[in-house]
Amino acid sequence: MYQNLLHDKLEKLKSSGQYRNFTYLNRICGQYPLAKLRDEKNKSVIVWCSNDYLGMSENSIVLQEMHNAIDNYGAGSGGSRNISGSYGIYSELESEIAQWHKKEAALVFPTGYSSNDATIQCLLRLFPELVVISDEHNHASIVNGIRATKNSREIFKHNDVGHLEEILKKYPYSRPKIIIFESIYSMDGDISPVEEIVHLAKKYNSLTYIDEVHAIGIYGHEGAGISSERNISDMIDIIQGTMAKSIGIIGGYIAASHIIIDAIRSFSTGFIFTTSLPPSITAGCLTSIRYIKEHNHLREKLHFNTSLIRALFKEKNIPLMSCSQTHILPVMVGNAQDCRNAAERLLQVYNIYIQPINYPSVPMGTERFRINATPKHTLEQIEKLADSIQEVFQYFKIHPVSKQTKQEET
């Protein structure tokens, strides 16, 4: 019975065009954004959808420090930091992160997902009366952390500070509250009204929790994110980030006051009972952050390449979603099967890899490509991207749109 039920669900997913297939490819260290497609020809393809925004995963200095850590400490950490002991390099990394975000302390987790999930669950359980107020487009890791608790919850319309204030007004000033939002939303490429949200939080006595994962390394002083760029890091209670995107490796973290960090470290089951990052990964993350802080040219080249793509797409009548204000360049196809077909043709005919984005990452009917340039993409590759997408859309008679409808947004 159970096998049949699962089979039916999978078949329904396939018939809707939402079923996901892995594209097996191996990136080539030292030649990013090139990768080898794992087929009989083992042909090279150009990757246009990686979260390795700055190409730090192949930085030679980072790699050497990771090799050194393996030689010194071995491959794994041996368990959680409470049971197996805590390598000194964890403390170095957390101090670096705290300084980066102008916070008193930081805490590192194995993934960005777990840093959101575990922190939010812990906070809400420590404060049963805490009302959580969440942006409707928040990441699944945030949603999962909220749903795992019994706290009162409110969802405000995406980036709508008017609606947010309506919700805040419903509760007494003394009632504990927390507003959770992202600085950059990864599927639309838009930026939240950070200053306005923080202002409302202060006005109505609410904590603030910002997810900066897609801004880290790319925006703000030394790449510390949107809150740093807007000079309001000190007004935000908890800053969450990842080391799996611009930093180029894996891991997540939160940065906050000493007391908040100590409380999460002491009470969060998602931290206490999880094996810590291997020391080699930790060393790589620390080295990458220090490198990113000191090399502004990486950010400048990324933004230059992004601007170039925007200009070429406009020239070729390939509309980007109008909400995009950042390095994230979404092109809405609006149909799952069309998105898959276009991606397959780009891969097989033009050796361009772009993963189709479909439900549940985005609402049905808003399927899209999510394109990311890096400092390592060349002018020739950028021109090829624009030419190829133009041809593929013409081939399949795809007419991308720049805006979502109201029905799609909700």
Is residue 309 classed as helix, strand or coil in its secondary structure? helix
The DSSP secondary structure of 184-206, one letter per residue, reads B-TTT--B--HHHHHHHHHHTT-
Helix 161-169 to helix 194-203 angle, to the nearest 10 degrees?
10
Work out whether the CA dihedral 296, 300, 301, 303 comes out positive or negative. positive
- Cα–Cα distance list, 15 to 12, 18, 355 (Å): 5, 8, 19
Where does 226-338 show beta strands of DSSP type E?
238-242, 252-256, 328-332
Give yes or no for a cis peptide into 33 (omega within 30° of 0): yes
Among all chains, which residue has been given the structure tokens 């990768």?
A: 35
Is 34 in contact with 46 (CB distance < 8 Å)? yes
**Residue 88 identity (one-letter amino acid):** G
Closest CA to 278 of 31, 107, 111: 111
Single out the catalytic residue among 103, 177, 245, 376. Answer: 245
- Cα–Cα distance list, 246 to 63, 187, 242, 290, 335 (Å): 15, 16, 8, 12, 30
Continuous H helices in 16-160: 60-73, 81-84, 88-100, 112-126, 140-147
What is the rounded CA–CA span in Å between residue 382 and residue 402?
Answer: 21
How many Cβ atoms are within 10 Å of 28's Cβ, its own excluded?
13
Q: Clarify whether 102 is annotated catalytic.
A: no
Helix 112-126 to helix 140-147 angle, to the nearest 10 degrees?
30
N-terminal to C-terminal alpha carbon distance within the chain: 35
Residues belonging to the active site: 245
